[in-house]
Chain A
Amino acid sequence: MQLHELFIAPFAEFAFMRRALVGSLALAIAGPPLGVFLILRRMALTGDAMAHAILPGAALGYLAAGLSLGPMTIGGLAAGLIVAVGSGVVARTTILREDASLAAFYLISLALGVTIVSLRGSNIDLLHVLFGSVLALDDATLILLAAIASVTLIALAALYRPLVLETIDAGFLASVSRSGGVVQIMFLVLVVLNLVGGFQALGTLLAVGMMMLPAASARLITDDMTLMIVAASVLGMLAGYAGLIISFHAGLPSGPLIILIAGFIYLLALIFGPAGGFLRRLKPGRHLEA
């Protein structure tokens, strides 16, 4: 009875809690696996940069149509893709490396976004774009989140082999196939897609947390690629569920709490993670012998 009160009743009683849960689960299914690839490719901060890059597009959509799903999604998607492709082009044609051009592009984007939102005269709205509202997901938003999760999973399944190869040994993939560039771009498109979906629920700043924190935790838990992807998704879902429950009982804001729980899981993994956590490093196991 007590357990039911604590863990199930909030979702049984309130539809907005069920919607929030479904939304966070959808985000957790697709985002964290992408995060795993970002981490393994040493592009962990790319997610963050892309999240900022989305802002001016979403802001333009917001300026044109208010807080409405379609224009903000399309705007965010367009802005994210322009920055992703733009920084790739700059990296290939100038002396600047990809990280530097990405940083430049996203800072310009962020400033542009803040300016565009203030044009509307009201700055409380900027907070809603930046922080989203997981408690106010309507049908259209849920369908969008579910569609993005499905597309991402299917695309990941199709791209899995070349993506893993490109991640682990890009030189080898380049020697046997010319799909490397295409794979890289498709991958970035998926990242942008998930961040755009995530910012409806969590806002531009926190969406990237749902992608990276479970992925980083999973990396500390296992060395196995497949397990890592599954663990990342599971941890993301756990954070989503626990964050909502605690927000409900403790009266704390839901979006930030979901990410805080993901952060807490990350700290635990950091200390106890069997694949490279702090304690593991302190007491190394037997050396492998040939």
Chain B
Amino acid sequence: MARLRYVITLVLACAGAASGWPAQAQAPEKLPVVATFSILADFARNVGGERIEVTALVGPDGDTHVYQPKPADAKELGAARLILVNGLCLEGWIDRLIKASGARAPVIVTTKDISPQQMREEGRIGPDPHAWQSIANAKIYVANIRDALITVDPGGALVYRANADNYLGKLDVLEKDVTAEIAKIPPGRRQIITTHDAFGYFGTAYGFRFIAPEGVSTETEASARDVAKIIRQIKAQNIPAVFLENVTDPRLVKSIASESGAKVGGTLYSDALSSPDGPGGSYIEMMRNNIRELSAALAQ
């Protein structure tokens, strides 16, 4: 019996693949989708709902910049019907991995139509990949993912549209709340230090200055001169708070804070969601957590 079911599934899967899937709209299997990191996966889950099965290559609290792919990742990619990447040079490792896995699914760059900001990384100017830190951009991600899902699985178009509209509505509410919260912080205090230069889009969208002590990327080790520069800057510009992120060395930030007299804020999530039961388990929770932490540290 189990064997029979297996054969039927196999036949259905092949038929689906041969006919481009839509004929099997009632197929019990979910559409396998791979996203490179947890935030994209969260967007995709919200749009795809029950129809798709999303795997994130870089899980919660992982650093997408320096990720080392595992063999299981290549397997996931090979089985995927749709691959979602951020682009803007965030996942330097993805092209080789896709090639090595022999994946033939379409690779969708979800930052399409987002106008990239520039950032300085290792002395070079390049596109800043952390576009999701602005909620306006998040909506573009969601629209791109919706369109990609409809192309791969036209039978689910209605569901995807309805889910996306629903989720975009939630993002509208989120954006309104974030703007309202920030309005309560005095403009002169809207500047903080973080350990990783990931909030460029957030800063532009909501009028914040984020200063990254390492200045470059998560991969470089801070020199004594960098640390000294930051401490002088905090003192000179009266920067009220220093924030830890979930991906860099907290010891350095603590040492900078204790010396400069700035307050140590809670954890801001930038590149990765927290584990599902943590404070930033989804994109919306992550943004709410970040704005809550910012308000707590900066409000007077």
Interface centre among B61, B220, B224, B249, by most chain A C-beta atoms within 10 angstroms, is B224
B44, chain A: closest CB distance, angstroms: 20
CB pair B61–A131 under 8 Å, yes or no, is no
Candidates A67, A135, A247, A250; contact of B255 at CB < 8 Å: A135
CB pair B223–A15 under 8 Å, yes or no, is no
- Whether A17 touches B224, Cβ cut-off 8 Å, given contacts A121-B59, A122-B62, A124-B218, is yes
Q: A255 contacts which chain B residues (CB < 8 A)?
A: 221
Q: A251 contacts which chain B residues (CB < 8 A)?
A: 223, 225-226
CB pair B223–A254 under 8 Å, yes or no, is yes
CB pair A137–B255 under 8 Å, yes or no, is yes
> Which B residue sits closest to A248, measured CB to CB?
B224
Candidates A128, A253, A254, A256; contact of B249 at CB < 8 Å: A128
CB pair A17–B249 under 8 Å, yes or no, is no
> Which A residue sits closest to B227, measured CB to CB?
A135
Residue B29 interfacial (CB < 8 Å): no
Q: A136 contacts which chain B residues (CB < 8 A)?
A: 249, 251-252, 254-255
Interface size class for chain B?
Answer: 20 to 34
Residue B231 interfacial (CB < 8 Å): yes
Give Cα A252–Cα B223 distance, bound, in whole angstroms: 5
CB pair B225–A138 under 8 Å, yes or no, is no
Give Cα A116–Cα B62 distance, bound, in whole angstroms: 15
Residue A272 interfacial (CB < 8 Å): no
Q: B220 contacts which chain A residues (CB < 8 A)?
A: 253
Using a CB-CB cutoff of 8 Å, which residues 46-61 of chain B contact chain A? 59-61
A24, chain B: closest CB distance, angstroms: 12
A289, chain B: closest CB distance, angstroms: 54
Candidates A122, A137, A138, A254; contact of B224 at CB < 8 Å: A254
Q: A137 contacts which chain B residues (CB < 8 A)?
A: 255
Give Cα A221–Cα B249 distance, bound, in whole angstroms: 39
Give Cα A124–Cα B218 distance, bound, in whole angstroms: 8
> Which B residue sits closest to A243, measured CB to CB?
B224
Q: B221 contacts which chain A residues (CB < 8 A)?
A: 131, 133, 253, 255-256
Using a CB-CB cutoff of 8 Å, which residues 227-262 of chain B contact chain A? 227-228, 231, 247-252, 254-256, 258-259
Residue B296 interfacial (CB < 8 Å): no
CB pair B248–A16 under 8 Å, yes or no, is no
Q: B224 contacts which chain A residues (CB < 8 A)?
A: 10, 16-17, 20, 135, 244, 247-248, 254
Using a CB-CB cutoff of 8 Å, which residues 5-60 of chain A contact chain B? 10, 13-17, 19-20
Q: A179 contacts which chain B residues (CB < 8 A)?
A: none
Residue A150 interfacial (CB < 8 Å): no
CB pair B255–A121 under 8 Å, yes or no, is no
Candidates A14, A120, A253; contact of B222 at CB < 8 Å: A253
3 tightest A-B CB contacts, nearest first:
A136-B251, A251-B225, A253-B221
- Additional A-B contacts beyond A15-B259, A135-B222 (11; CB < 8 A): A13-B228, A17-B228, A20-B224, A67-B251, A120-B61, A122-B61, A124-B248, A135-B227, A136-B254, A138-B254, A253-B223
**Chain B residues close to A by CB (< 8 Å):** 59-63, 66-68, 218-228, 231, 247-252, 254-256, 258-259
